[in-house]
Amino acid sequence: MKFSVFQVSRKGGRENNEDRMGYCYTRESGLFVLADGMGGHPEGEVAAQLALQTISALYQKEARPTIRDTAAFLTSALMAAHHQIIRYASEKGMLDTPRTTLVAAILQGTGATWVHCGDSRLYVVRDGELLTRTRDHSYLEQQGNGVIKLARINRNILFTCLGSPTKPVFDIAGPVVLQQGDKLLLCSDGLWGSLSDDEIVRELASKGVSDAVPDLVENALRIGGEHGDNVTVLAMEWETPDAFESTRGVSTDSIMDGVFASTIQASMLDTGADELDEATIERSIAEINEAIRRSAARKA
């Protein structure tokens, strides 16, 4: 399995960056996850971090080295993350629960399967065109489906998320058979809230992910301005096994069975949410991205 991958999370005009993202992979499978902790509720960054860590831990337990049923796994993992957030709030005696959106994808074999809850999105771009994207669980996005018809709807109003007292609503798609050069992009609403789908697709289609992702994030921050949202993006480019090394990205061929690589950090939640070090997370991401750049440069 071979792919290029790049991830960036930048603070916008918000007091805190409650977005979290990361990926892990085995020799034959990869998991990509992004969560956006919801404002208006306490400790959104904890909800996002718990979601990532729960799904990652279950993935590392069950990917031996592949997930037997990706759709069933994503369903159970999402619900497990939801229950972990609820349990965290209960143990702390919180009157309101932390909440988060979620989008997660598994790539293995020749296909990709994904799940999403809320308004964090996944885009698939092929040959310079948008192949598909997720539909937000918001009243605005569902308006055209006959769910609700109102003249004006705030795009930020969601009808589901992880951590809510009610059971989360989520959608699963795939598997979509991947082709050489296909690009998958996971993002928080800080990206698509400032940039149109056409702008996102055009940028992603014209560059490699290591160049497109930083440019997309900078454009979104510039347009969002001092009151803009945090912007988090995780994108990968797929390479088929028989293709020439065009992406010069991550190759899992050298990974032994039972071994995992991951950018999803271990938890400090047992000793309290205050120990979640955003600077450490951003520094780790920067180091990973730089390592990918150096590897690509050596192969070039």
Tokens of 268: 């400090």
**What does the alpha-carbon distance between residue 240 and residue 47 come to, in Å, rounded to a whole number?**
35
Q: Has this prediction a pTM greater than 0.85?
A: no
**Mean pLDDT for the chain overall:** 83
Question: Could you report the per-residue pLDDT of 16-63, keeping only the tens digit for each?
Answer: 888 999 999 998 999 999 999 997 787 899 999 999 999 999 998 999
> Residues of the chain with pLDDT > 70: what percent?
76
Does 266 score more than 60 pLDDT? Answer: no
Between residues 215 and 145, the one the model is more confident about: 215
Does 262 score more than 70 pLDDT? Answer: yes
Q: Which of 10-14, 132-136, 150-154 has the lowest mean pLDDT?
A: 150-154
| pLDDT given at position 11 | 87
Give the pLDDT band (50/70/90) at residue 269: very low
Average pLDDT over residues 79-92: 94
Average pLDDT over residues 105-120: 96
Q: Are strands 121-126 and 129-133 parallel, antiparallel or unpaired?
A: antiparallel
Average pLDDT over residues 240-266: 64
**What does the alpha-carbon distance between residue 257 and residue 269 come to, in Å, rounded to a whole number?**
30
What b-and-e string marks burial along 164-179, b requiring 16 or more CB atoms within 10 Å of the CB? beeebebeebbbbebe
Question: Could you report the per-residue pLDDT of 180-198, keeping only the tens digit for each?
Answer: 999 999 999 999 999 999 9
Average pLDDT over residues 184-213: 95
Between residues 160 and 298, the one the model is more confident about: 160
Average pLDDT over residues 246-261: 65
Write the burial class of residue 130 (CB in 10 Å: 0-12 exposed, 13-18 middle, 19+ buried): middle
Q: Are strands 250-251 and 2-10 parallel, antiparallel or unpaired?
A: antiparallel
Does 267 score more than 70 pLDDT? Answer: no
| pLDDT given at position 14 | 77
Question: Could you report the per-residue pLDDT of 137-160, keeping only the tens digit for each?
Answer: 987 776 655 444 444 555 568 889
Give the pLDDT band (50/70/90) at residue 281: very low
Average pLDDT over residues 150-171: 80
